[in-house]
Amino acid sequence: MKFMLSCAAAVAALVLTPQALAQAAPVAAASADASLYHDLGGQAGLTRLVDRFWDDLKADARMAPFFVNVNPTPFKQRLAEQLCEVSGGPCTYGGADMKTAHSGIDVTRADFNALVEVLQRSMDAQGIAFRVQNRLLARLAPMHRDVVNVR
């Protein structure tokens, strides 16, 4: 349960606020190893995942309100770049740190849990192996402490 909450928080850091994606800080990959990037399908795989994830977010009643006024093109581009970097791919992603990007936005653990459920459904639909999903979520997890601001 603790791992799931951490994973949820990390993923929410990426997605709950579109403004955060426009200004998110670079996130160093857990290692220089690009095997996760390759296991996710490289840039093409990440693009497919982000496209599916966007559709799933918009279809989820819990997540859709966060994205009502979001332009999907830059949102998806930035998210793909950030996931690329986090997974050890060749991308560089820069901008505001997660704490700054999420200041003034109420982000709860329930929001994180819902977001992780949506991301996991998206990854399942893309045929991404469970162990690969866990590796990605583990790399995203450290961001949660800078995002959750409603305890």
pLDDT at 69 over 50: yes
Our CA angle for 44, 31, 113, nearest 5°, is 70
Q: Which of 72-76, 78-82, 97-101, 136-140 has the lowest mean pLDDT?
A: 97-101
Digit-coded pLDDT (tens) for 3-15: 444 444 444 445 4
The CATH number given to whatever domain includes residue 102 is 1.10.490.10
- Give the residue, 143 or 132, on which the prediction is more confident: 132
Dist. CA 96–CA 105, nearest whole Å: 15
Residue 140 located in a structural domain: yes
Cα–Cα distances (Å) from 80 to 26, 60, 89, 102, 137, in that order, read 13, 20, 11, 19, 15
Residue 129 located in a structural domain: yes
Residue 71 located in a structural domain: yes
Task: State the residue range of the domain holding 22.
Answer: 2-146
Q: What is the DSSP letter of 15?
A: H
Number of structural domains the chain divides into: 1
Res. 64 pLDDT band, cuts 50 70 90: very high
Q: Which of 14-23, 50-59, 68-77 has the lowest mean pLDDT?
A: 14-23
pTM strictly above 0.75: yes
Residue 142 located in a structural domain: yes
Beta-bridged to residue 24, according to DSSP, are 96
Percent of the chain at pLDDT > 70 equals 75
Residue 27 located in a structural domain: yes
CA atoms within 13 A on the CB side of 67: 24
Digit-coded pLDDT (tens) for 41-59: 999 999 999 999 999 999 9
Contact 37, 114 (CB under 8 A): no
Residue 151 located in a structural domain: no
